[in-house]
Structure 1
């Protein structure tokens, strides 16, 4: 009997204070579409690909962790044009860090959503990303 295999990550779940406000923020800034909306939970997709699930939480925990007292992200988004995305997000007053060019590893910047969840954004043209 052949055993099933993990084929990838279907989606990531992050906690938010206000599901409606957070969903609107992600739709506005990243063009995600909303699916599977329930009372305190919804899914964000890019076309037919699941990206994030938002769950309303009254707890202050967020999708971050610390190493040496520095906050780190748990989710990395992939982009095909990091410079224009970074410029756009800054113009929209989104909290973004500077673009860092790590040569053969690509370019990165960190952003923060309305709730303090951190995300890494990555551009790499020599990486095969199947989606």
Structure 2
């Protein structure tokens, strides 16, 4: 079973997310919005399958990264999230929450061996 297929997003804490988004827009040309910036690309050789990677600065006091105390969280794109979560449970991996579904895909959070919270995302087709 194919597990991680790519990086879905990079999330990090900062004192002033709005100012950080503006700085990256001004100095590095990121096309930012209220959530950060989205980088679009095509999956492999198939120019009909568009993918994306999200870049998001979060307020330094966010609780979204908990129970991890780290300043960052990585979102990994995966295939077949339900099956993957079952396999991870059998392997003793800590699953933080239940799978949630949205228009843009399914999500769940896990903890790695050093306490980093990881977001797993199966994009909607």
Q: Tell whether the structures are fold-level matches, with TM greater than 0.5.
A: no
Taking CA–CA contacts closer than 8 Å with sequence separation of 6 or more, which of the two structures ends up with the larger relative contact order?
2
Which has more strand, going by share of residues?
Answer: 2
TM (normalized to structure 1)? Answer: 0.41
